[in-house]
Chains A and B, each alone.
Chain A
Amino acid sequence: MADISSTFLGIQSPNPFWLASAPPTDKKINVLRAFEAGWGGVVWKTLGSQVKNVSSRYSAVNFGAKKMMGFNNIELISDRPLALNLKEISECVRLFPDRAMIVSLMADNNRKSWHELIKQVEDTGAHGFELNFGCPHGMTERGMGAAVGQDPDIARMVVEWVMEAATLPVITKLTPNVHSVVPTGKACVEAGSNGLSLINTIQSVTGIDLDTFVPNPYVDGKSVFGGYCGPAVKPIALKMLTTIAQNPVTSKVPISGIGGVSTWKDAVEFMLLGASNVQVCTAAMNHGFRIVEDMCEGLNNWMDEKGFKKLEDFIGKSVDKITHWEDLDINYHHVANINQDKCIHCGLCYIACEDTSHQSINLTYGKPYNTYTIKEEECVGCNLCQLVCPVNDCITMVEKRVAPEYLNWKEFQKRGLPLNDH
C-alpha cells in the first residue's frame, strides 16, 4: 500500500486532498462533515471585511447529459462574523488535529488590517494562511481579491505586509484573470510567500435565459460576471500550473493545485505537473464530500500499480514533458488505424475528417453499415478521428516516423527543408 500522506510547507495531512476556500469550508458543520468523510485538510473560506451576499449566487454550464461541467459563483468572502469563524476554526482544529487547517485571508488593502487579521487567526491553532488574491467579483471593486493579484507590484506589497506579521506558512493564491500568472507569482515568492496555489476562478458568463434575456446567475433581472470553475477549467489550470512549475523563481516553492479537480486522476495530473497537493471545491459541491473516498483509493491503487511509494515519487514528473513548439520532433509522425473488429460504423470519424480535417478516411457504402478505412498517405496524424470515436481503442495512432533522427523546427529551417509540402 502506497503512502498518500502529504506534507505541504511542513503541514501534515493524511492525504493530498484539501477542500478549497469556498462555500463548503464556510463553517464548522461543513468542515467537520468533510473531515469525517476523510478530507486531508481544508482552506477555510476567506476571512476579511464584513460583506453582504446576494441571492442567487451560482450558475452552471451543462454539456449534453452531464450537468455542471462548468460552474460559476458570485458569492463573496465569508459573510459570517469574524469572531464566530475564529471560534469554529479552533474547534475544528481541536477535534481533528491530524488534518490541515489553512485559513484564507483577504484583509482591507492596508498593512494594519492585514497585521490585525493575521494575529487573530494565528491564535486559532490553524496551520497556515492562504492569501486570496484571486476572487474575481465583488471584492475587486473594493481593491481586493483579483485587483491585488492582477498587479504584481500590489501583490508584492501585500505579501510583504503579511510576511512581517505571519509566523505560520503563507500560501498565495493566484488569479487566472491575467495574461500570465507568472509575474504575480514571482512577485509573491520574491516578497516571501512560502508557497503558491492556483488557480482561482475565471471571470465568466455561463449562459443567458432565452426567455428573459437575463444572464446567469439571476439577481432580480440582472447578473454579473461570476468566477468560473469545475471540470471545464481544468485544462486552463493545468497550463497555468505548468508555467509556475517551470519558472525558476516560482518553482522553488510548493504549489497547491486548484481548478476542476474532480477525481484522483485529475489530482495525479496536477501533481505530475508540479502541484504538491490539490484543492477541490466544485466536485464536492456537485456530489458531496464522499467523493474523497475514491480519490484516496484510486490514488493509492494507481501508485501501487506504478510502484510509487510516496507522493514525492511522482510529483513534477511531467513538468519537463511540456516543451516549446520549436523543440518538438518534426520527424515524428503517426497515422490513424481503425480496428475493423471494434468499429461500430457510426461514421463519426469519417464526417469529422471529411468536413473539417484532411479527407483521410475512405467510406465504402453498405446497408446499413458503411466501412471506414484510413488513407494513410493523406493522414496527418491529427488525432481528430480517434478523439471523436465512441469506442475505446478502436482507432489507434500508429507511429510512422518520417526519419529516424530527431529534427526540430530550428534545425529544419537551418537546413532549408521544404515547407508547406502537405
Chain B
Amino acid sequence: MAITNNRLTVDQYAENFSDIHPPFETKDAALTEANRCLFCYDAPCMKSCPTGIDVPKFIKQITTDNLKGSAHTIFVSNILGAGCSRVCPVEKLCEGACVYNLMEEPPIEIARLQRYATEKAMAANWQLFERKPSNGKKVAIVGAGPAGLSCAHVLARAGVEVTIFEKESKGGGLMTYGIAAYKVTPAFCENEVNYILSIGGINVQYNQTLGKDFSLESLQQSYDAVYLGIGVGLARQLNIPGEQLTGVEDAITFIYNIRNNGFASVPVGDRVAVIGMGMTAIDAATQAKRLGAKKVTMVYRRTENEKPCTQEELDIALLDGCEVIWLAAPKEIIGEQNRVSKLVCSKMILGEPDASGRRAPVDTGETFTLEVDMVIKAAGQTPYYSLVNDAQLQHQDGKIKVDHGAITNIRGVFAGGDCVNGGKEVVDAVQAGKDGAAAILDYLNVS
C-alpha cells in the first residue's frame, strides 16, 4: 500500500484523535480534585510554572465558586492558560513539583483544573481584562504564536495599539500548527486566539511573512517598537544519503499538514521510521500510528535515560504501539525508484558526556536495516538564521541574543520565545512575551 492517505473511516479518525486528557465531566469531579489541594504557601507548583501562575489561588477559587476569579488568576499570568492546560508537560512543571509527590500520592491534577476554569471562561466569553485608554503608542509584533500573543495582550491591556504580522492564515503558532491534534484541536486553537484578541486593540495581519512581504526596517519606521516572536521554523537536516527520497518528510511539515489539512488528507506509510525522541518526534510517531500506519518505529541515538521527551510522552507512543530502538543513529536512507524502502542505522554506544551534560552516542561501526516506506525526521528545528543575520540582529547560531530577557541589540527591537531560546515549551514562550511587553512598556515609558 506504501504511502497513502485516507486509510481510516471518519469515525476511526475521530476516535484516534479524540482528547487524550479529557476534561472534568462535572463540577463535582472538579471540586473533589480542587478540594484535595493543600493551598501551599510559596507553592512549589507556582514556582515551577514558567509563567508563575498562582496555582493554589486559582484552585481555591474553584472551590469557592469563584470561577471568574479563578480564570482571571490563570490568565493574568498566562493568557494562553487554556491551551497550556492541554499541552504543557506538567509532569515536569507544576504537577511534577506538587508536594503530594513527596507523600507518594498522586499530584493535584493542576492542568485539568486549569482547563476546567479556563474552558468555562472561554465558553462564556468572560471579559476579564479591561484595556486602559489608548496612549497613542504603536507596537508591531512579528508572529502570532504564544510569545507574540502573550506580548500583544499585555501591551493591549496597557493601552498600546498592537499590530501582529503572521505568516500563516491562523494565529497560535506552534500551538495551532505544531502540536498533536489529540492534545488541542484546530477549533480550540482558533477559539483561544479569538478569546485573546477579544480584548481589542490588537490587529492581526495574516499571511504576512517577514523578509518577504515586509522588512524589519519598515516596521521600525512605522511603529514605536517591534517585538519578534518568529519562532524556529526549519527542520534540522540529517545530512545522510537518501534524505531527498520521496517518503522522507520532516515532522514539522507532517504535523502541520495534519493540523491544517485534515486527517484523511495526510498520507502516511505502512512502515514508518521516526528519527528523534523529543516531544515533536512523539507527536509525529503517535499521529502516524493514529493515521493508520501499520508499524511505527522510533529511532534514537542515545538511551532512554537521555531522552528529551518526558516519560508520560513516551508512554503515549508505547501505548499507541510505536516501537522504539535505542542507541540507533540514521546512517543512510535507501530507495527504490526514488521512493524510500530501507533505513540503515548505526548501532551506537554511550561515551563521555557532551555539552548538554548527557553521555554522547558513539558509533560502533555496526549497522542494521529497517524495512520502511516513510521516514519522518524529528531531529529538532533550527532558527531562521539568515533572516536574523540579514537583519543585523546579534545572535548565536541564529538564536537572537537578548538582554533582560527581551532587549535585542537594535534599539526599539525586542524578541522572545523560540527564536531566542531555540525552542522550548509554549509556556516558556508565553512568559517571554510578558517579559517582552514589560521591556517595551519600559522603553515606551508607559506604566
- Residues of B contacting A346 with CB < 8 Å? 38, 40-41, 43, 99
* B360 → chain A closest CB, angstroms: 29
Residue A61 is within 8 A (CB to CB) of chain B in the complex: no
Against A, the Cβ 8 Å flags (1 = close, 0 = not) of B26-62 are: 0000011001101111111101100000000000000
Picked from A64, A344, A351, A369, the residue with its CB within 8 Å of the CB of B41 is A351
Bound Cα distance from A8 to B48, whole angstroms? 61
* A352 → chain B closest CB, angstroms: 9
Residue B97 is within 8 A (CB to CB) of chain A in the complex: yes
- Residues of B contacting A231 with CB < 8 Å? none
B103, closest chain A residue (CB): A344
A369, closest chain B residue (CB): B44
Residue B187 is within 8 A (CB to CB) of chain A in the complex: no
Residue A65 is within 8 A (CB to CB) of chain B in the complex: yes
Bound Cα distance from A351 to B36, whole angstroms? 19
Bound Cα distance from A82 to B52, whole angstroms? 67
Residue B319 is within 8 A (CB to CB) of chain A in the complex: no
In the complex, the answer to whether A368 meets B44 with C-beta atoms within 8 Å is yes
Residue B220 is within 8 A (CB to CB) of chain A in the complex: no
Residue B102 is within 8 A (CB to CB) of chain A in the complex: yes
Interface positions, chain A 344-369, Cβ under 8 Å from B, are 344-348, 350-351, 363, 367-369
Residue B63 is within 8 A (CB to CB) of chain A in the complex: yes
In the complex, the answer to whether A367 meets B47 with C-beta atoms within 8 Å is yes
Picked from A64, A345, A363, A367, the residue with its CB within 8 Å of the CB of B35 is A64
* A342 → chain B closest CB, angstroms: 9
In the complex, the answer to whether B41 meets A348 with C-beta atoms within 8 Å is yes
In the complex, the answer to whether A65 meets B41 with C-beta atoms within 8 Å is no
Bound Cα distance from A344 to B104, whole angstroms? 10
- Residues of B contacting A369 with CB < 8 Å? 44, 97
Known: A65-B35, A368-B47, A368-B97. A350 touches B103 (CB 8 A): no
Residue A97 is within 8 A (CB to CB) of chain B in the complex: no
B41, closest chain A residue (CB): A347
Known: A65-B32, A65-B35, A344-B103. A370 touches B63 (CB 8 A): no
Picked from B39, B42, B100, the residue with its CB within 8 Å of the CB of A370 is B42
What is the interface size of chain A, counting residues whose CB is below 8 A from a CB of the partner? Answer: 16
Bound Cα distance from A345 to B100, whole angstroms? 10
Against A, the Cβ 8 Å flags (1 = close, 0 = not) of B7-33 are: 000000000000000000000000110
- Residues of B contacting A368 with CB < 8 Å? 44-45, 47-48, 97
* B250 → chain A closest CB, angstroms: 36
Bound Cα distance from A260 to B42, whole angstroms? 36
* B90 → chain A closest CB, angstroms: 13
* A409 → chain B closest CB, angstroms: 36
- Residues of B contacting A350 with CB < 8 Å? 41-42
B101, closest chain A residue (CB): A344
Bound Cα distance from A350 to B43, whole angstroms? 12
- Residues of B contacting A390 with CB < 8 Å? 38
Known: A65-B32, A368-B47. A347 touches B40 (CB 8 A): yes
Bound Cα distance from A158 to B89, whole angstroms? 72
Bound Cα distance from A369 to B100, whole angstroms? 12
Bound Cα distance from A345 to B63, whole angstroms? 22
Bound Cα distance from A350 to B42, whole angstroms? 10
In the complex, the answer to whether A344 meets B35 with C-beta atoms within 8 Å is no
* A351 → chain B closest CB, angstroms: 4
- Residues of B contacting A65 with CB < 8 Å? 31-32, 35-36
Residue A37 is within 8 A (CB to CB) of chain B in the complex: no
Bound Cα distance from A191 to B87, whole angstroms? 75
* A338 → chain B closest CB, angstroms: 14
- Residues of A contacting B99 with CB < 8 Å? 344-346
Residue A285 is within 8 A (CB to CB) of chain B in the complex: no
Number of A-B pairs, beta carbon distance below 8 Å: 42
In the complex, the answer to whether B31 meets A348 with C-beta atoms within 8 Å is no
What is the interface size of chain B, counting residues whose CB is below 8 A from a CB of the partner? Answer: 20
Bound Cα distance from A369 to B43, whole angstroms? 8
* B38 → chain A closest CB, angstroms: 5
- Residues of A contacting B42 with CB < 8 Å? 347, 350, 363, 370
* A77 → chain B closest CB, angstroms: 36
In the complex, the answer to whether A345 meets B102 with C-beta atoms within 8 Å is yes
Bound Cα distance from A187 to B430, whole angstroms? 73
Bound Cα distance from A363 to B44, whole angstroms? 14
Bound Cα distance from A369 to B47, whole angstroms? 9
* A210 → chain B closest CB, angstroms: 9
B93, closest chain A residue (CB): A368
In the complex, the answer to whether A345 meets B44 with C-beta atoms within 8 Å is yes
* B64 → chain A closest CB, angstroms: 10
Known: A64-B35, A65-B31. A347 touches B102 (CB 8 A): no
* A305 → chain B closest CB, angstroms: 27
* A63 → chain B closest CB, angstroms: 10
Bound Cα distance from A350 to B40, whole angstroms? 10
A346, closest chain B residue (CB): B40
Bound Cα distance from A346 to B43, whole angstroms? 7
Picked from A64, A344, A351, A367, the residue with its CB within 8 Å of the CB of B63 is A64
- Chain B CB count within 10 A is highest, among A64, A368, A390, for A368
- Chain A CB count within 10 A is highest, among B36, B41, B44, for B41
Bound Cα distance from A344 to B35, whole angstroms? 18
- Residues of B contacting A348 with CB < 8 Å? 38-41
Interface positions, chain B 70-103, Cβ under 8 Å from A, are 97, 99-100, 102-103
Bound Cα distance from A344 to B41, whole angstroms? 12
- Residues of B contacting A344 with CB < 8 Å? 99-100, 102-103
- Chain B CB count within 10 A is highest, among A346, A348, A351, A391, for A346
- Residues of A contacting B43 with CB < 8 Å? 346-347
A390, closest chain B residue (CB): B38
- Residues of B contacting A64 with CB < 8 Å? 35, 63
Bound Cα distance from A391 to B102, whole angstroms? 10
- Residues of A contacting B97 with CB < 8 Å? 368-369
Interface positions, chain A 162-203, Cβ under 8 Å from B, are none
Bound Cα distance from A65 to B27, whole angstroms? 12
- Residues of A contacting B40 with CB < 8 Å? 345-348
Bound Cα distance from A367 to B47, whole angstroms? 7
Bound Cα distance from A370 to B46, whole angstroms? 13
Bound Cα distance from A291 to B48, whole angstroms? 44
Bound Cα distance from A147 to B99, whole angstroms? 53
B33, closest chain A residue (CB): A65
- Residues of A contacting B38 with CB < 8 Å? 346, 348, 390
- Chain A CB count within 10 A is highest, among B35, B40, B103, for B40
> What are 25 A-B pairs with beta-carbon distances under 8 A?
A64-B35, A64-B63, A65-B31, A65-B32, A344-B99, A344-B100, A344-B102, A345-B99, A346-B38, A346-B41, A347-B40, A348-B38, A348-B39, A348-B40, A348-B41, A350-B41, A350-B42, A363-B42, A367-B47, A368-B45, A368-B47, A368-B48, A368-B97, A370-B42, A390-B38
Q: Can you add 19 more A-B contacts, CB < 8 Å, to A345-B40, A348-B38?
A: A65-B31, A65-B32, A65-B35, A344-B100, A344-B103, A345-B44, A345-B102, A346-B38, A346-B40, A346-B41, A346-B43, A347-B40, A347-B43, A348-B40, A348-B41, A350-B42, A351-B41, A367-B47, A390-B38
- Name A's B-contacting residues (CB within 8 A): 64-65, 344-348, 350-351, 363, 367-370, 390-391
Kindly list the 9 A-B residue pairs having the minimum CB-CB distance in the complex, ordered from nearest. Answer: A347-B41, A368-B44, A65-B35, A351-B41, A344-B99, A346-B40, A344-B102, A368-B47, A368-B97
